[in-house]
Structure formats: C-alpha cells, structure tokens
Chains A and B, each alone.
Chain A
Amino acid sequence: DIQLTQSPSFLSASVGDRVTITCRASQGITTYLTWYQQKPGKAPKLLIYTASTLQSGVPSRFSGSGSGTEFTLTINSLQPEDFATYYCQQLHSYPITFGQGTRLEIK
C-alpha cells in the first residue's frame, strides 16, 4: 500500500496567515493526489485534485503543488472558516489511501 505522511499533524495559525501543509508519498504517484478539508461532524470537502487543480467553487487562496512523492497545500490569508482538518489522498494505486490528517487551529 502507498503510505501518505502529512506534516505537520497539528498547526496553529492566525487569521491572515499563510500556511503550508506537506504530504509525502512512500512511492511516486505522479500527480494523482487530492486534498480535502473536513470540519467536525461533516463529510470531507474536495479542495484540489491532480495535485494542483482547484475544485470549482473553492476560494483561490487555496493552492496545491508537487509531483512524484512530495506535495504541498498552501492557504494564503487564512480565513476563520479555514480552521479544519486537511487530508491528502492518493489515487495512483489500490487501495486508495489517505494521509493521517493535519489539524489547523486558531492561534
């Protein structure tokens, strides 16, 4: 199975900050990498797919980059509604796997 390791696991930031979350894959997955946002008690929400394509309706302050084994999710100018848990997911090989999550909290 392809392991995805996110760092950091926990992140404290303020409104207006720029934050970056990293996702590392245990083997190359080209750009078959997706990012989701999950708020407590809710289903995950698709943010970015194929590593860098913004899902329709997602604010442009979210961006993704990377290929192969290292990927990043960047959020510019954090808004109050961005405080949530973020997951990466690979769809290169079965089984589909997710990172362990990065919890973003208000400082």
Chain B
Amino acid sequence: QVQLQESGPGLVKPSQTLSLTCTVSGGSINSGNYFWSWIRQPAGKGLEWIGRIHTSGSTTYNASLKSRVTISIETSKNQFSLKLSSVTAEDTAVYFCARGRDGYSIFDFWGQGTLVTVSS
C-alpha cells in the first residue's frame, strides 16, 4: 500500500520561502506512470491544485502560482518537494501531496496533510 507523508516547517515568515517534502513509501516513486502533485486547502475552504511533477522531471504548475512555485523530485530518496517563494498570509493552508495515477491527475493516494502558517 502506497503511503505519502508531508514534512516541513509549520511556520513561515512573510516574504520567505515555504519548503515541504513528500516522502513516498510502499512503492517506488519511479515505478508506473504517475504524476506527483501538491494541493492546498485554506482552513474551512476548498482545494487548490498547485502543480505536479512526473518522474521524468516534467512539471506543470497552476498559472496563478507559477511565478512562485518550484516542484522537484529526488527519486533516490523516493521524495518530491515543493518550494513556494514570497509567501503571504494568503498562503496559510493545509498542504497535501498526492499521487495522480495512470498518467492523469486522478488522485488515488494522499498524504495526511500538513498545516503551514505564514506569520511573523
């Protein structure tokens, strides 16, 4: 059974860079035709897709965040990461990592989510 686990600081200061890592266990991040995504959810609100990466390194970002987002993958560690620069209070949210299967963004496995608060 594939499992995903987010990790990273829970508090980030305004204007700084938010950095999170998702560790995949129970299977190789390299096996199969999967895309690995980041999705966030402000408290009491809906879901916002941030972007995705394929094991080939190919990335697709939400245009609304594209200028501030970098998603990378480290297959040797079975991890992929998110960096979001120049954060503001509006970036405060629970951040989820998820697997999109069969070459599509059908998210069949999710991490439990990690709350990141942007505050000084």
Q: Which of B100-120 contact A (CB under 8 A)?
A: 104-108, 110-113
CB contact between A42 and one of B60, B107, B112 (< 8 Å): that residue: B112
Question: Once bound together, how far apart are the Cα atoms of A45 and B109, in whole Å?
Answer: 8
By size class, the interface of chain A is: 20 to 34
- Which residue of B37, B49, B98 has the most chain A CB atoms within 10 A of its CB atom? B49
Q: Which DSSP category, helix, strand, loop or mixed, fits chain A's interface?
A: loop
Question: A94 to B100, alpha carbons, bound, how many Å?
Answer: 14
Is chain B's interface secondary structure helix, strand, loop, or mixed overall?
A: loop
Q: Which of A49, A95, A96, A99 contacts B46 (CB 8 A)?
A: A99
Q: How large is the interface on B (under 10, 10 to 19, 20 to 34, 35 or more residues)?
A: 20 to 34
Which residues 80-107 of A have a CB within 8 angstroms of B? 87, 89, 91, 94-101
**Beta-carbon contact of B112 and A97 below 8 Å:** no
Contact in complex: A91, B60 (CB < 8 Å): no
Are B46 and A87 closer than 8 Å at their CB atoms?
Answer: yes
User: A76: shortest Cβ distance to chain B, in Å?
Assistant: 23
Question: Smallest CB–CB gap between A58 and chain B, Å?
Answer: 11
Given A43-B113, A87-B47, A98-B46: A55 in contact with B96 (beta carbons within 8 A):
no
A55 to B108, CA, bound (A): 9
Check if B108 sits within 8 Å of A46, measured CB to CB: yes
Q: Beyond A43-B112, A95-B63, is A36–B107 a contact (Cβ under 8 Å)?
A: yes
Q: A36 — which chain B residues lie within 8 A by C-beta?
A: 107
- For the complex, give the distance between the alpha carbons of A91 and B48 in Å: 13
> Is residue B62 within 8 Å, beta carbon to beta carbon, of the partner chain?
yes
**Binary interface profile of A, 13-30, with partner B (CB < 8 Å = 1, else 0)?**
000000000000000000
Establish whether residues B104 and A91, one from each chain, have CB atoms under 8 Å apart when the complex forms.
yes
Residues from chain A with Cβ under 8 Å of B47 in the complex: 44, 87, 89, 98
Are B112 and A96 in contact, with the CB atoms below 8 A?
no
* Chain A residues close to B by CB (< 8 Å): 32, 34, 36, 42-46, 49-50, 55, 87, 89, 91, 94-101
B contact set with A: CB distance below 8 Å: 37, 46-49, 60, 62-64, 96, 98, 104-108, 110-113
